[in-house]
């Protein structure tokens, strides 16, 4: 084949790809049939007569035989057959099956990235760093002994030289050590049975619900009067379990897999479920992109969906959350909806619109936020109808009315089928609730609920607000913003068969991007939804860029089509190149949040706890507790936005152990039921309800009954069933992650219901009305009321209002200290006299609000009223002259969590240490079992005569 012929083949093929012609390049057979030995005539005939229906059909049946046509036999003189490559046949195949090939490429990228959590390659880096640092440490130690006076700069140079020499000598032996160390790290993220742990938190909720469904044959873990019930949530009351497509898909996958592998578990099946679902996403992305910009545009849309870093972390293997549906189903809905407009008959239009409705129904079954796609479609189509009427009705009334009729019929079919399928898969009440959700979504960051209880969603990590720079980063930077802008322009200026600008989908893209950008300001989890319209904009940009660049270069420079199209493709690939490292980094570093410390802790609870035991901790890991410890929890990631958040926050922060026990007993007897009953009798006076409960927490049952009667509560014994019952076995967990979350749980624990009431009830009042309400309804004094009203009205947003209602006391870090005689001097300038227990800074002023320390095994607190700050200082006991001082904002320094985690439970009367485990990354998890009688004897640092001896014995044990 000559060079000219090859260039003509390339040009023909690329033109065919650009225009989406499956048989492009078949004319080459006619022009160059004399130069090819293996061009079957029947294939040419088939190619010239077959109709490619709507550019959607992919002929899979003849791929195998076609690939064989790429290869021929070259008979050399020695009669040995050699396989040769037929480029013309390959070109024809690539053109004919461009859709399949492009989709498969995108799916392969998606599969590679999303399978990384199974491989955990990051542990190879950990292992190499660990061993390399160990070797460098040994070299440094040897040099220090040999050359103690060597300057540090010279010593570092020698360390590098010796380290490189060691690597050359060690060779494969070191590689084996790294491999073994990496495998050790991997094992700490697997169960004792060798199964991979799931990566995040919510995934364990779906794993447990699927396990229940597979094990019991129904949702929930029990039946109450024949109705499924989940007793593990908001224990001990429980709630009806939610039905979700995710549970059924997980169960189907497990059962199908189990028929081939009887040893497979639900955990493994759920690990791979999101991986399989995510592989679907590039398919509709390709067809949407191809519709607007040909196969090249479709390919880049599919590729962007496959490798976008914002999607990867939430749709990889090991993350069986419902986020993957937020990618797959919007694409399927939009694809089917757009196909309806291109369908040649009214019947097919209805079928495609109905299919879009089916996808919406399935989406609603998988995620309650399904309605955003429906709103985008309604807004885009509705705006198009209005604009089309305004632009064309007078000029071409007949064609305009027919177009509007088609738009309205397709939209009506979609809406009707969506409601029907959502009702069938959920229920009609769910449709009604979905209508309300957009309005509720606007208030998702509101400081307090109308019930006065705090809004926990303001502190949920995935609902953290994102600024414009964060949104920009998730897209890929300004480059992609510019690409998206031009992509929308191209989509808006596309013409239909009548020569009209068909800008309906361009409008949808505008609404889509605007809606998801707004949603992202309400929660970082919604950033990945923005990736879908951006992907389509990219496809529009790429395809149209190829077309416009080709026309311009041909007209001005007579550049061959093949060269300019290849140049454009390479240019776009260069733009994409910055996404790949980010995607690779995200996927390879995606490891389980849970580890061996947590897993072993919860397995031990499962093995030793009573069947009805209840676990209490902050809500974040509640799903882990239910799934692995197989025990009920006070609250979790599905019930965090409930009054329980205040009660648990108060337990963790209070210095009054008796108060903490009274709250914990109420939660273990009936969750928040007592508050609900009292609040009903008081006509929804939440502030007074909470005040009554705090008055009875430390009282006996009889004294509490009398107090309830004095407070005007009828039938007090019914209330006492939920506050003073004989509670079940109870566990409380304190873990190191809760240190960083201290500001959150302490914020809700110190919630000021009086201020919350002033905020909720006076939003729409004038200042005078608000002051009057504060005095007459809340009971504030005439002096205090105006000041609080003015403070409230000066707050600029919900975040500042949240802070005004309740502070965010947290832990302020630690400092190392050294004892010399009776003085302990810390690195931050704080000095402690161990004889008088006076704490001062370098200027002699009191550095802290309270000094908290252990003396003779007893926790003591010394306040300083002249302190200029609100910090507590906790001096951790030590058997040596080295001390650590923990700083925390008042009142956390002596709070229950501080005593449980930092002080080993010292002096607590109601808590016995159950387990204390440390994980591979240093994670520490301490579990206490509650002694409801108050007979615990926690003296981890000994008594008056043996504090130092006990510490030294403990240190010696730890060292061994």
Percent of the chain, pLDDT > 70?
A: 83
* Backbone angles phi and psi of 744, in degrees to 5: -80, -55
Q: Is the peptide bond before 780 cis (omega within 30 degrees of 0)?
A: no
Helix, strand, coil shares of the chain as percentages rounded to 5? Answer: 60, 10, 30
DSSP string, 197-250: PPSSSHHHHHHHHHHHHHHHSSSSSEEETTEEEBTTSTTTT-BPPPP-HHHHHH
* Coil/strand/helix, residue 795: coil
Give the closest residue to 185 by CA, choosing from 268, 117, 127.
127
Structure tokens at 266: 């639900």
- How confident is the model over 373-395, as a mean pLDDT? 90
* Backbone angles phi and psi of 765, in degrees to 5: -100, 160
Pairwise CA distance, residues 530 & 262, whole Å: 41
**Which of 501-515, 796-810, 871-885 bottoms out in mean pLDDT, i.e. has the lowest?**
501-515
pLDDT at 575 over 70: no
Q: Residue 46 has what pLDDT?
A: 37
The answer for residues whose C-beta is within 8 angstroms of residue 775's C-beta and 6 or more apart is 781, 782, 785
Confidence of residue 480 (pLDDT cuts 50, 70, 90): confident
Q: Residue 948 has what pLDDT?
A: 43
The separation between the first and the last C-alpha atoms of the chain, rounded to the nearest angstrom, is 78
Please report the beta strands in 705-857, taking only residues with DSSP state E, as ranges in sequence order: 730-735, 811-820, 823-826, 831-833, 838-840, 850-855
Q: Residue 857 has what pLDDT?
A: 77
Confidence of residue 936 (pLDDT cuts 50, 70, 90): confident
Give the closest residue to 527 by CA, choosing from 339, 729, 312.
312
* Domain assignments of the chain as residue spans, ordered by start: 3-96, 121-187, 276-588, 753-805, 811-959
More confident residue, 906 or 673: 673
**Which of 75-84, 93-102, 611-620, 938-947 bottoms out in mean pLDDT, i.e. has the lowest?**
75-84
Q: Residue 104 has what pLDDT?
A: 94
The answer for residues whose C-beta is within 8 angstroms of residue 163's C-beta and 6 or more apart is 132, 135, 136, 139
- How confident is the model over 650-666, as a mean pLDDT? 97
528-540 as b/e, with b when 16 or more CB fall inside 10 Å? bbbbbbbbbbbbb
Q: Residue 26 has what pLDDT?
A: 40
Which residue is listed with tokens 């923990």? 886
- How confident is the model over 178-206, as a mean pLDDT? 94
Q: How many helices (H) and strands (E) does the chain have?
A: 42, 16
Note the pLDDT tens digit of each residue in 236-263: 999 999 899 999 999 999 999 999 999 9
**Helix 172-187, helix 122-146: angle, nearest 10:** 120
Q: Which strands form 924-930's sheet, in the order they lie side by side?
A: 614-616, 730-735, 924-930, 911-918
Q: Residue 56 has what pLDDT?
A: 42
Residues in the chain, total = 960
DSSP string, 486-547: HHHHHHHT-B-TTS-B--HHHHHHHHHHHHHHHHHTT-GGGHHHHHHHHHHHHHHHHHHHHH
- How confident is the model over 274-292, as a mean pLDDT? 94
Instruction: Specify whether the CB–CB gap between 373 and 363 falls below 8 A.
Output: yes
- How confident is the model over 568-597, as a mean pLDDT? 83
* Backbone angles phi and psi of 260, in degrees to 5: -100, -25
More confident residue, 656 or 300: 656
DSSP string, 287-327: HHHHHHHHHHHHHHHHHHHHH-HHHHHHHSTT--SGGGHHH
Confidence of residue 743 (pLDDT cuts 50, 70, 90): very high
Note the pLDDT tens digit of each residue in 400-435: 898 899 999 999 999 999 999 999 998 888 888 888
Which residue is listed with tokens 């060691």? 166
Note the pLDDT tens digit of each residue in 136-153: 999 998 888 888 888 888
DSSP string, 882-922: EEEEEEEETTGGGSHHHHHHTSTTTT-SSEEEEEEEE-TTS
Q: Residue 938 has what pLDDT?
A: 78
Q: What is the pTM of this model?
A: 0.86
Q: Residue 18 has what pLDDT?
A: 47
**Which of 141-155, 332-346, 347-361 bottoms out in mean pLDDT, i.e. has the lowest?**
141-155
The answer for residues whose C-beta is within 8 angstroms of residue 864's C-beta and 6 or more apart is 839, 846, 848, 849, 850, 851
Q: Residue 571 has what pLDDT?
A: 65
Q: Residue 69 has what pLDDT?
A: 52
Percent of the chain, pLDDT > 90?
A: 56
DSSP string, 531-589: HHHHHHHHHHHHHHHHHHHHHHHHHHT---HHHHHHHHHHHHHHHHTTHHHHHHHHHHT
In angstroms, the Cα distances linking 527 to 295, 363, 905 are 27, 18, 42
Mean pLDDT of the chain, nearest integer:
85
pLDDT at 929 over 90: yes
* Backbone angles phi and psi of 44, in degrees to 5: -65, -40
More confident residue, 532 or 674: 674
- How confident is the model over 751-776, as a mean pLDDT? 95
pLDDT at 87 over 90: no
**Which of 145-149, 566-570, 665-669, 861-865 bottoms out in mean pLDDT, i.e. has the lowest?**
566-570
Instruction: Specify whether the CB–CB gap between 370 and 363 falls below 8 A.
Output: yes
Q: Residue 955 has what pLDDT?
A: 46
Q: Residue 735 has what pLDDT?
A: 97
Q: Residue 293 has what pLDDT?
A: 81
Confidence of residue 28 (pLDDT cuts 50, 70, 90): very low
Note the pLDDT tens digit of each residue in 540-569: 887 777 777 667 766 676 655 555 566 666
Q: Residue 91 has what pLDDT?
A: 62
Q: Residue 442 has what pLDDT?
A: 67
pLDDT at 78 over 60: no
User: What is the DSSP pairing of strand 227-229 with strand 882-889?
Assistant: unpaired
pLDDT at 195 over 60: yes
H/E stretch holding 871 reads strand 871-876
Q: Residue 522 has what pLDDT?
A: 65
- How confident is the model over 777-794, as a mean pLDDT? 94
- How confident is the model over 365-375, as a mean pLDDT? 90
Q: Residue 216 has what pLDDT?
A: 96
Instruction: Specify whether the CB–CB gap between 280 and 249 falls below 8 A.
Output: no
Confidence of residue 83 (pLDDT cuts 50, 70, 90): low
């Amino acid at each position: 084949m000559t060079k000219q012929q090859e260039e003509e083949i390339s040009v023909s093929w690329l033109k065919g790809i650009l225009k989406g012609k499956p048989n492009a390049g078949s004319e080459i057979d006619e022009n160059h049939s004399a130069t090819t030995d293996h061009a079957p005539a029947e294939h040419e005939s088939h190619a010239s007569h077959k109709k490619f229906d709507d550019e959607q059909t992919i002929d899979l049946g003849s791929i195998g035989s076609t690939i064989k046509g790429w290869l021929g036999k070259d008979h050399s003189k020695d009669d040995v057959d050699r396989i040769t490559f037929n480029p013309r046949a390959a070109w024809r195949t690539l053109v004919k099956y461009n859709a399949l090939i492009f989709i498969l490429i995108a799916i392969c990228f998606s599969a590679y990235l999303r399978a990384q959590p199974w491989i955990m390659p990051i542990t190879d880096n950990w292992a190499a760093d660990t061993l390399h640092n160990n070797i460098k440490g040994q070299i440094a130690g040897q040099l220090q002994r040999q050359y103690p006076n060597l300057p540090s700069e010279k010593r570092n140079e020698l360390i590098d030289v010796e380290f490189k020499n060691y690597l050359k000598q060690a060779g494969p032996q070191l590689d084996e050590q790294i491999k073994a160390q990496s495998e050790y790290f991997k094992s700490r993220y697997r169960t004792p049975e060798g199964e991979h742990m799931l990566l995040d938190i919510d995934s364990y909720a779906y794993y447990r619900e699927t396990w229940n469904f597979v094990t019991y044959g129904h949702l929930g873990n029990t039946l109450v009067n024949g109705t499924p019930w989940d007793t593990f949530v908001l224990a001990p009351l429980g709630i009806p379990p939610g039905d979700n497509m995710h549970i059924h898909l997980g169960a189907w996958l497990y059962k199908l897999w189990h028929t081939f592998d009887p040893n497979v578990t639900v955990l493994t099946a759920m690990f791979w479920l999101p991986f399989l679902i995510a592989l679907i996403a590039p398919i509709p992305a390709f067809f949407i992109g191809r519709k607007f910009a040909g196969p090249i545009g479709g390919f880049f849309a599919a590729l962007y969906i496959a490798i976008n870093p914002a999607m990867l972390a939430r749709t990889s293997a090991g993350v069986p959350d419902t986020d993957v549906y937020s990618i797959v189903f919007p694409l399927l809905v939009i694809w089917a909806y757009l196909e309806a407009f291109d369908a040649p008959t009214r019947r097919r239009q209805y079928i495609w619109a109905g299919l879009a409705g089916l996808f919406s129904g399935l989406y609603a079954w998988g995620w309650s936020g399904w309605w955003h796609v429906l709103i985008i479609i309604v807004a885009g189509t509705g705006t198009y109808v209005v604009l089309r009427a305004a632009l064309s009705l007078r000029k071409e009334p007949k064609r305009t009315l027919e177009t509007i009729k088609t738009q309205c019929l397709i939209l009506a079919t979609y809406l009707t089928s969506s409601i029907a399928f959502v009702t069938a898969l959920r229920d009609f009440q769910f449709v009604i609730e979905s209508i309300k959700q957009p309005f509720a979504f606007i208030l998702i960051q509101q400081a307090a609920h109308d019930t006065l209880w705090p809004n926990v969603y303001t502190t949920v990590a995935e609902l953290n607000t994102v600024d414009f720079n964060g949104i920009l980063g998730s897209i890929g930077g300004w480059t992609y913003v510019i690409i998206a802008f031009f992509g929308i322009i191209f989509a808006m200026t596309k013409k239909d068969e009548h020569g009209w600008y068909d800008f309906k989908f361009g409008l949808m893209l505008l609404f889509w991007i605007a809606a998801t950008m707004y949603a992202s300001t309400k929660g970082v989890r919604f950033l990945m939804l923005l990736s879908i319209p951006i992907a389509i904009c990219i496809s529009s940009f790429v395809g149209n860029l190829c077309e416009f660049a080709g026309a311009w270069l041909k007209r001005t420079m007579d550049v061959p089509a093949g060269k300019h199209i290849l140049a454009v493709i390479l240019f776009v690939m260069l733009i994409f190149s910055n996404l790949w490292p980010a995607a690779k980094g995200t996927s390879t570093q995606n490891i389980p949040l849970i580890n061996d410390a947590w897993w072993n802790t919860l397995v031990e609870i499962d093995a030793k706890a009573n069947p009805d035991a209840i676990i209490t901790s902050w809500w974040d890991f509640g799903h882990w507790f239910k799934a692995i410890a197989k025990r009920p929890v006070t609250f979790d990631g599905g019930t965090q936005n409930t009054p329980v958040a205040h009660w648990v926050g108060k337990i963790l922060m209070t210095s009054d152990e008796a108060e903490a026990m009274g709250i914990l007993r109420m939660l273990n007897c009936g969750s928040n039921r007592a508050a609900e009953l009292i609040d009903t009798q008081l006509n929804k006076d939440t502030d007074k309800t909470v005040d009554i409960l705090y008055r009875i927490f430390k009282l006996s049952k009889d004294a509490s009954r009398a107090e309830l009667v004095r407070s005007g509560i009828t039938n007090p014994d019914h209330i006492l069933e939920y506050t003073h019952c004989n509670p079940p076995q109870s566990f409380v967990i304190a873990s190191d992650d809760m240190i960083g979350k201290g500001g959150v749980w302490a914020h809700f624990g110190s919630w000021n219901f009086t201020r919350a009431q002033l905020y909720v009830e006076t939003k729409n009042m004038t200042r005078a009305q608000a002051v009057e309400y504060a005095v007459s309804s809340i009971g504030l004094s005439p002096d205090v009321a105006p000041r609080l009203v003015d403070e409230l009205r000066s707050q600029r947003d919900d975040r500042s209002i949240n802070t005004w209602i309740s502070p965010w006391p947290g832990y302020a870090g630690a400092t190392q200290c050294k004892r010399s005689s009776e003085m302990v001097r810390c690195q931050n300038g704080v000095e402690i006299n161990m004889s008088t227990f006076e704490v001062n800074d370098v200027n002699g002023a009191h550095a802290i609000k309270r000094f908290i320390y252990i003396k003779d095994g007893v926790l003591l607190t010394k306040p300083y009223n002249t302190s200029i700050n609100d910090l507590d200082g906790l001096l951790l006991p030590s058997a040596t002259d080295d001390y650590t001082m923990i700083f925390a904002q008042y009142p956390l320094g002596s709070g229950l969590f501080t005593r449980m985690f930092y002080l080993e439970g010292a002096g607590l009367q109601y808590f016995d240490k159950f387990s204390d485990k440390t994980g591979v990354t240093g994670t520490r998890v301490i579990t206490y079992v509650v002694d409801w009688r108050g007979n615990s004897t926690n003296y981890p640092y000994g008594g008056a005569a043996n504090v130092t001896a006990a510490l030294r014995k403990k240190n010696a044990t730890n060292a061994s």
